[in-house]
Amino acid sequence: MSAPQTVYKITIPIHFFIFEFVIKDAIQHARTVTSARTIMGNKWVLSLFSLLVIFGCAPRPLIRPEIPGARSLGDVEDRIRAEAEAWEKTPHVLGGAGKDGIDCSGFVALVNQKLFGIELPRTAEEQAGTGTPVPRKQLQAGDLVFFMPSSKKPHVGIYLSRGEFVHVSSSRGVMISNVHDPYWWDCYWTARRILQM
């Protein structure tokens, strides 16, 4: 008479869906099997378990399924430009979070929370790990663009269109620049998409 089987039920959230996997005797087999034939036969169980651990521990992209009230990328861009105008010439202050002074990552986090309800990490380094990577040639309104100036920390802005992006310059405060300008082109690092139309 065989020993009763133990059923382990693991629920792993991946993005906005819940997948349930039932793994029978995974731990018991891993401890007791001795023959190479049995190990190969159960290799798929261990592989599945490894994948669950990897995907279960991976950070979830901060992508909204839709943007409330936005009908097009033009709407998204118009919202960001209007907000940028309200902040125009606000000075750069490291660690700042208001109209009296703000830094690049603080501005990006504040704008996305206010306009789209997205909570982003506070630092540019952490923000660069959110969303999904976007090739430079496929940038669209709302994408986060990152730069790595020499001997400085990462810099972040919000893409608009036609190469323009809004950011907080350390010398000129909140302003609009162009990724095609030689300085920004040379220190361009990466981009992340956190909005989805």
pLDDT tens digit sequence for 90-108: 999 999 999 999 999 999 9
Q: Specify the long-range contacts of residues 97-106, CB closer than 8 Å, at least 24 apart.
A: 102/168, 102/174, 103/168, 104/155, 104/156, 104/157, 104/167, 104/168, 105/156, 106/168
Q: 162-185: string of b/e by CB count within 10 Å (b at 16+)?
A: eebbbbbeeeebbbbbebeeeebe
Task: Please give the radius of gyration of the chain, using alpha carbons only, rounded to the nearest integer.
Answer: 23
Which comes out higher in pLDDT, residue 171 or 57? 171
The overall average pLDDT reported for the chain is 77
Structure tokens at 90: 């606000």
Alpha-carbon distance of 15 to 159, in angstroms, equals 24
Of 29, 92, 167, 180, the catalytic one is 167
- Give residue 176's pLDDT: 97
Q: What is the pTM of this model?
A: 0.67
Catalytic residue among 15, 29, 57, 155: 155
Does the annotation count 187 as an active-site position?
no
Q: Which residues contact 9 (CB under 8 A, 6 or more apart)?
A: 20, 21, 22
* Active-site annotation holds for 29: no
What confidence score (pLDDT) does residue 196 get?
A: 83
Q: Which of 15, 92, 104, 187 is catalytic?
A: 104
* Contact predicate 29/44, CB 8 Å: no
More confident residue, 171 or 48: 171
> Residue 127 pLDDT > 70, yes or no?
yes
State yes or no: is 92 an active-site residue.
Answer: no
Q: What type of residue sits at position 3?
A: A
All domains of the chain in start order, with CATH:
7-57 (no CATH), 73-193 (3.90.1720.10)
pLDDT: which is higher, 132 or 12: 132
Amino acid at 12: I
pLDDT digits (tens, 9 = 90+) for 7-62: 443 334 433 333 333 334 443 444 443 444 444 444 544 454 444 444 444 444 55
pLDDT band for position 6 (50/70/90)? very low
